[in-house]
Structure 1
Amino acid sequence: MPAWKFFILTFGCKVNQYESQSLREAWQRLGGSECAIPAEADVLCVNSCAVTAKGERDARNAVFRLRRQAPDATLILTGCAARLFADYRPRPGAKWAAPDLLIPQEEKSRLLAGPWAMAEPDCAQADAPHTPLPAAQTAGATNTAFPPFRIASFKRARPVLKIQDGCGHRCTYCIVPLTRGKPRSRPAGEILAEARRLLEAGHAEIMLSGINLRQYGRDDPACGDFWDLLRSLDKALAPEFAGRARFRISSLEPSQLDARGIETLTACRMLCPHLHISLQHASPAVLRRMGRGHYSILMLEKAVASLAAHWPVMGLGADILTGFPGESDADLRLLLELIERLPLSYAHVFPYSRRPGTAACNFAGQVPHPLKLERAARVREAIERRRRAFWAAQLTLPRMLVVPDSIRRAAVEAGSGQTHALCKGINEYYVPCFFRPPNGSASALLPVRPTALTGKGLLTEPLP
């Protein structure tokens, strides 16, 4: 096969980042080389997201933009928005473009055999190369096997390790079960082997990620549950890597923070004192309409208090959804009051987005779009106050451990008004840190001391 170049554009979640890396490594083994400029590529791949309407729109816009930049390249659209693209009808006269290959999420792993693996021979040689092909057949939709993605490295300093796929919970606002299918768990032995590979390759932080970690093991009792997996990883790897590397958890359901979960979190020697919670809301009425009545806010607050007794400093993030159908001013007040009580250090706040195919799309009481945006802005303002307070409190810490993102430097303005070109990293509490490169070679977990606060994060200095 002659030499060829490819360009991958990734949208959405950590799992998508992982799957793009797996495609990248597979295509490089097949003789492809990745290029940084789409116009130079023979193959363009958009790995899309469909969690929000904006994510789906971003994928369509990317297809249009990449088609203009590289008109002769083979253009592939895959990921969660691919199936929705097949049903999209542009407004009359609107400018848009279609991909050459439309690969739905459940068929994405077949691209590991090469970017042309799913093109029919007669289509691959067609005179009109940009006539869109139909979406792949959905035979993979009922496949219960874990998708065969694997990685040996990562494009970023902090790799994602995918341990679970799919979701069977069916929150009323969420389209993910329709695009990623039923929950499937990766065997613990494969996860351990990949974690060891990444650690031995020199990565000092690994993010354990999935679509719904609460459902790890439900399809295969031999896997145990997520807490069994976390304990086994720590037991196997901590004797060699504790103090040199660490794990971070991508996102947890509040209901996972029971007594066993808290015991596991505090016992693990390689785990960052940081959690990201799929909170969504604080109002019991809104949570029930969301299909998320399996936890209570009181349960979450008790769990956070228990963790704080073991982790005196703890990063705590959340996903929050505002403007859900039927949300009242009183519901919003409950959410704002919870934000003031919880020790949140950041949050991802989204105004509700109607997704065809979900139950909530047809709910009564749809909140007007301007009001959704206004409520999201109020929540973000409250979160911003919590973030600033958390970052300021970090200045009292005598020491923290930073994983440098890369050797690339960022311009940061110090309190003196001077701008310095500094290295950037993330500490164990998920706070951005900036520092001058240390003399000689630094360990992957770099000990630093905070010295000042900026709008972008902490200024720090390396410790001996």
Structure 2
Amino acid sequence: MSAWKFFIITFGCKVNQYESQSQREAWQKLGGVECDAPGQADVLCVNSCAITARGERDARNAVFRLRREAPAARLILTGCAAQLFANFRPRPGAIWAEPDLLVPQEAKSSLLRGPWSGKSLPALPPETAFPPFQIRAFRRARPVLKVQDGCAHRCTYCIVPLTRGKPRSRAPQEILEEARRLLRAGYAELMLSGVNLRQYGRDVPGYGDFWSLLHFLDENLAPEFEGRARLRISSLEPSQLAGRGLTTLTDCRLLCPHLHISLQHASPAVLKRMGRGHYTAAMLEEAVAALATRWPRMGLGADILVGFPGETDKDLRLLLELIERLPLSYAHVFPYSRRPGTAADSFTGHLPQAVKLGRAALAREAVARRHQRFLLDQLDLPHMLVAPDTLKRLPSETKRAAAENATVHGSGAWRKGVNEFYAPCLFRFPAADGASQADRPTGLLPARPVRVTEKGLLVELKTTEA
């Protein structure tokens, strides 16, 4: 195939980011050249998300915008919003654009064979095993490593089981090989990610569960990479944080002392209506207390969903009180979004949009207070290890903070990254003699915190580990 240009835009979760990278590498092997702007492309691909109504709307808007910017290009829509797009009907008279090819999430891996031609995919066998995505690089400095796909739990608000299908687990040895390949390529931090890590191994009992996988990876990677690289977990549920789960977390030598929890709410009544009655907020509090003996300082993030049908003022108060008690370092707060095809869409007690937005604002304010305490607490650390990333633009407030602090003066390029606790960090990376300031730093960088800014911690890199 002769050279052709493509442009991929990705919405949504880390799993989508991973799949876009796999598709990017596959298309490059087929002669494709990635371009910087849609108008330069022969093929456009939107990798969509449908976890919220806004995500689905973003996909439709992207199709319209890309069609306008590159009317002659072949336009493909894939991902979780693709099959929903097929059933969407615009308002009469609305300006509208359609893709040339709709590829539902369940068939996304077919794009690894190329962008295809025509209006439909060729007949392909149904995909029953883990989809054949793999990567050798990543556009960001901290790669996502996909280990699981699909979900069978069917939370009453969630459309993911309808778009991602049944749980499918990746073979441990294949995961290990990809992890080792990425770490040897110079990446210092990998994010183990899946749609529902709690269901890892249920489709192939011989794989064990997620804790078996984590132990296997740590046991095989730590002898070579301990002190030079680390692993991070994308998302867990409170029900996983007991017994063997806690032991595995604290025994792993490569694992960051940071957890992101799919919490959603604190009220038992709301959790039950959500279809998440298999855990309680108390489970998370007990786990955090237990982890404190081995992780005296940790990062703790959460997903929180407010304004669910039937949520009362008392339910909201339970949530806000939990936020104040937990040592949260951040949280993603979402107002409930109706999703046709889910059980909750037919529930009674739907709240007005203004009420949902107001409650989300209250939760975000409570989280912001906890986040500020977390960052201030980080200033007591004598040192930390920062996994670097790129930085397009330095916030103005941080420029002022840097100017006020002689400790961060000097030549070099500004970079961002995260420390082991997932605190956002900004630092100046000195350029080596004869090297461009744009050179990307690699490895885990020893640093010390200087001050808190509106975007996280301003840190100073250390020349030697102190």
TM-score between the two structures when normalised by the length of structure 1: 0.94
Does 1:413 pair with 2:399?
A: yes
Which stretch shows the higher mean deviation, 207-216 or 403-412? 403-412
Match of 2:459 in 1: 460
Residue 108 (1) aligns with residue 108 (2): yes
1:252-291 alignment runs, 5 A limit: 252-291=236-275
Q: Which amino acid aligns with 1:32?
A: G
Aligned-pair distance for 1:438?
3.5
Distance 2:425 2:280 in 1: 34
Instruction: Work out whether residues 316 and 345 of structure 1, in 8 Å CA contact, stay in contact via their aligned partners in 2.
Output: yes
Q: Match for residue 435 of structure 2? A: none
Provide the rounded CA distance (Å) in 1 between the counterparts of 2:391 and 2:356: 40
The equivalent residue for 1:424 is 416
Cα-to-partner distance string for 1:169-201 (whole Å, 9 max, x where unaligned): 000000000000000000001000000010011
The equivalences for 1:1-12 within 5 A come to: 1-12=1-12
Tell me what 2:47 maps to.
47
Q: Give the aligned partner of residue 313 of structure 1.
A: 297
Partner Cα separation in structure 2 for residue 139 and residue 336 of structure 1: 49
In structure 2, distance between residues paired with 1:385 and 1:416: 24
Does residue 20 of the first structure (1) align with residue 20 of the second (2)? yes
* Mapped pair 1:99 → 2:85: no
Structure 1 CA distance for aligned equivalents of residues 82 and 184 of structure 2: 36
Per the alignment, residue 356 of structure 1 pairs with: 340
Structure 2, unmatched stretches of 5+, are 433-438
* 8 A Cα contact 2:271 2:277, kept in partner: yes
Amino acid of the structure 2 residue aligned with 1:413: K
Q: Contact 2:423–2:457 at 8 Å: present in 1 too?
A: yes
Alpha carbons of 1:414 and 1:287: their partners in 2 closer, same or farther (altered >3 Å)? Answer: same
Aligned residue runs from structure 1 range 51-450, under 5 A: 51-116=51-116, 119=117, 123=118, 133=119, 140=126, 143-406=127-390, 410-411=394-395, 412-415=398-401, 422-438=414-430, 440=432, 444-450=443-449
CA shift, 1:410, in A, is 2.7
Question: Partners in 2 of 1:303 and 1:175 — Cα distance?
Answer: 29
Identical columns (%)? 70
What SS is found at the alignment partner of 1:387?
helix
User: 1:414, 1:453 within 8 Å by CA — same for their partners in 2?
Assistant: no
**CA distance, structure 1, for counterparts of residue 278 and residue 128 of structure 2:** 25
Q: TM-score, normalised by structure 2?
A: 0.93
Name the aligned partner's letter for residue 15 of structure 1.
Answer: V
Does the aligned pair in 2 maintain the 1:80–1:105 contact within 8 Å?
A: yes
Structure 1 residue 107: deviation in Å? Answer: 0.4
Paired residue secondary structure (2:429): coil
Aligned residues: 448
Equivalent residue letter for 2:133: F
Query: Matched residues in 2 for 1:463 and 1:110: separation?
Result: 47
Matched residues in 1 for 2:402 and 2:198: separation? 46
User: Which stretch has the larger CA shift, 180-189 or 296-305?
Assistant: 296-305
Instruction: Return 5+ residue gaps in structure 1 as ranges.
Output: 124-132
Aligned-pair CA distance for 1:435: 1.1
Deviation per residue, 1:19-78 (Å, 9 max, x gap) = 000000000000101011100000000000000000000000000000000000000000
* Letter paired with 2:446: P
